[in-house]
Amino acid sequence: MNELLKKSATEQSKALKNKEISAVELTKAALERTKNLEEKLGAFNSLTEDIALATAKKVDEKIAKGEDLPLLAGIPLALKDNMNMKGSKTTASSKILENFVSPFNATITDKLFNNLVPIIGKANLDEFAMGSSNENSAFKKVHNPWNLNKVPGGSSGGSAAAVAACDATLALGSDTGGSIRLPASFCGIVGMKPTYGRVSRYGLIAFASSLDQIGPFARTVEDAANLLEVISGHDTKDSTSLNLPVEHFAGNLNNDIKGKKVGVIKELMTEGLSDDVAKAMEVAIESYKKAGCEVVEVSLPRIKYSIGIYYILATAECSSNLARFDGVRYGYRTMDAKNLMEMYTKTRAEGFGPEVKRRIMLGTYALSSGYYDAYYKKAQQMRALVTEDFLKVFKEVDILISPTCPNTAFDMGSKTSDPLAMYLTDIATISANLAGIPAMSVPAGFDKDGMPIGLQVLAPQLEESRLFNFAYKFEQQHDFYKQLANI
Ligand code: GLN
């Protein structure tokens, strides 16, 4: 493989500007590596070679003319296959959208095109982003580049595996309950969920609209901050998009954090924590002390209800969002129906996979009359209390830390027959979605089998710059992020 593929986006940008390599050459190298690894990894549902090369060519034309390049121009990127890109298939890894070709661009796709970022393909995911292991894709499973018998985490498993394997330098994922941070942690890379509303959701296939947020994957904190700058900003096409100026999120990476207060979330340091993850947390705590921070234990008493709250709200919202897949307007339609009602039911029975059906049924139940108050309304009230816990704690500390997951990547197939065990992997990530706050996973070491561990860092709403600052200060004290999967 071309050694430059292993470098960060910042370093690749320099190489492009210094004409050490052309953007077309870099994109071709990324595509070649992706094709060589695809059979082993299963990270992509489709490649968008022509689109990527056309963008790279524009970068080279600008370089030839001596023009300035926009941020991240020419850096190969993988797009999660639940984000629309005109002319490409957008399947959400579901049979129901297997042959759906996007007639329009998501706002983030437009932004990537504006910055001349070559999009090399559509990354595999759990069907409709529902899952934690990327074993729920209707097409193929994604394998972890560090050990092909392990899961990469989900639901943005293809995006994470692609970046960890150096197929792509950057990727986008969506995070409803941890789908960026969990795979980033399992694959040893950086993954970040922005504040709710920071990035437009227009053109993202909705799972649970009050929780969904698009965010960056990269191998360094700086690259993730730059990618967030490219994709964020107000969008009139998404009513939940925040009307705020785009910040230069990488601008404060190296700010001194001496004297700041770091809170360790007590509730996430006990139950089910593996020994290796516990040790990595000790290292993280020591690292912040070394940077001059005061580290204190804090309690978020209602965080233990997060999974219960999430599986009411997320399923309720998905049962409504997925009603549009009825065989009339989008994608798959059954070949075998005698009347309209049968067409609807058979199309959905044949088109959706088992996990998606389970969620639709749970959500429909939670919303049905007579149960609405007991489940949906209660869950909304509890969501407000979890948010309140964060608001309270952020009055005492500047930043929070926890493991991204109590354990490292598990064996493929080991949790597929136990949905509850699978749901529990998100114990540390879900609360940030409930509260709408930014959170990220940073490489924080390896377990005894050499599998990556992730440190989760959480900041108050809209404090992404602070989040990147604290993540960077940890990252730079170690060389975890420099270690790459041997694949
Ligand atoms: N694993 C969680 C779920 O299955 C979160 C998924 C996500 O963030 N998209 O719902």
**What atom of ligand 1 comes closest to residue 180's alpha carbon?**
8
CA distances from 58 to 61, 118, 258, 468 (A): 5, 10, 44, 31
**What atom of ligand 1 comes closest to residue 154's alpha carbon?**
1
- In short, whether 229's Cβ falls inside 6 Å of ligand 1 is no
Q: Note the pLDDT of residue 351.
A: 97
Question: Torsions phi, psi of 335, nearest 5?
Answer: -90, -5
203 CA from centroid of ligand 1 (Å): 19
Task: Dig out the tokens for 229 from the structure.
Answer: 């700058």
176 CA from centroid of ligand 1 (Å): 6
- In short, whether 213's Cβ falls inside 6 Å of ligand 1 is no
Instruction: Check if the beta carbon of residue 163 is closer than 8 Å to that of residue 218.
Output: yes
- In short, whether 136's Cβ falls inside 6 Å of ligand 1 is no
Task: Dig out the tokens for 60 from the structure.
Answer: 């080279």
320 CA from centroid of ligand 1 (Å): 17
Pick the closest to residue 186 from 164, 168, 169 (CA basis): 164
- In short, whether 306's Cβ falls inside 6 Å of ligand 1 is no
Distance of CA 374 to the CA centre of its chain: 31
Instruction: Check if the beta carbon of residue 141 is closer than 8 Å to that of residue 412.
Output: yes
- In short, whether 197's Cβ falls inside 6 Å of ligand 1 is no
- In short, whether 220's Cβ falls inside 6 Å of ligand 1 is no
Instruction: Check if the beta carbon of residue 75 is closer than 8 Å to that of residue 12.
Output: yes
- Identify which of 94, 132, 212, 313 to mutate to test ligand 1's pocket (most ligand atoms within 8 A of the CB): 132
Order of strands, edge to edge, in the sheet holding 213-218? Answer: 44-47, 119-123, 77-80, 170-175, 213-218, 190-193, 439-446, 452-458, 399-403, 261-265, 294-298
- In short, whether 34's Cβ falls inside 6 Å of ligand 1 is no
CA dist 310 and 363 (Å) reads 11
- In short, whether 214's Cβ falls inside 6 Å of ligand 1 is no
Instruction: Check if the beta carbon of residue 131 is closer than 8 Å to that of residue 39.
Output: no
Torsion, Cα 35 40 44 48, to 10 degrees, reads 10
Which residues are marked as active site? 80, 155, 179
Helix H or strand E segment including 214: strand 213-218
Contacts for 161 with CB less than 8 Å, ≥ 6 apart: 41, 42, 43, 134, 142, 143, 144, 145, 152, 167, 183, 187
- Identify which of 81, 125, 176, 358 to mutate to test ligand 1's pocket (most ligand atoms within 8 A of the CB): 176
180 CA from centroid of ligand 1 (Å): 9
**What atom of ligand 1 comes closest to residue 175's alpha carbon?**
8
Q: Note the pLDDT of residue 420.
A: 87
Bridge partners of residue 122, in order along the sequence: 46, 79
CATH of domain 3-256+439-482: 3.90.1300.10
pLDDT by 10s per residue, the chain, length 487: 899 999 999 999 999 999 999 999 999 999 999 999 999 999 999 999 999 999 999 999 999 999 999 999 999 999 999 999 999 999 999 999 999 999 999 999 999 999 999 999 999 999 999 999 999 999 999 999 999 999 999 999 999 999 999 999 999 999 999 999 999 999 999 999 999 999 999 999 999 999 999 999 999 999 999 999 999 999 999 999 999 999 999 999 999 999 999 999 999 998 789 999 999 999 999 999 999 999 999 999 999 999 999 999 999 999 999 999 999 988 999 999 999 999 999 999 999 999 999 999 999 999 998 898 899 999 999 999 999 999 999 999 999 999 999 999 999 999 999 988 899 899 999 999 999 999 999 999 999 999 999 999 999 999 999 999 999 999 999 999 999 999 9
CA dist 177 and 278 (Å) reads 22
**What atom of ligand 1 comes closest to residue 131's alpha carbon?**
4
**Is cis: bond before 200, omega within 30 of 0?**
no
- In short, whether 311's Cβ falls inside 6 Å of ligand 1 is no
CA dist 292 and 367 (Å) reads 49
- In short, whether 129's Cβ falls inside 6 Å of ligand 1 is yes
363 CA from centroid of ligand 1 (Å): 14
**What atom of ligand 1 comes closest to residue 178's alpha carbon?**
8
416 CA from centroid of ligand 1 (Å): 14
**What atom of ligand 1 comes closest to residue 129's alpha carbon?**
9
pTM value is: 0.98
* Phi-psi group of 178: left, alpha or beta (phi > 0 → left; psi -120 to 50 → alpha; rest → beta): left
48 CA from centroid of ligand 1 (Å): 26
Q: Note the pLDDT of residue 326.
A: 94
Domain locations in the chain as residue ranges: 3-256+439-482, 306-377
- In short, whether 130's Cβ falls inside 6 Å of ligand 1 is yes
Contacts for 246 with CB less than 8 Å, ≥ 6 apart: 229, 232, 233
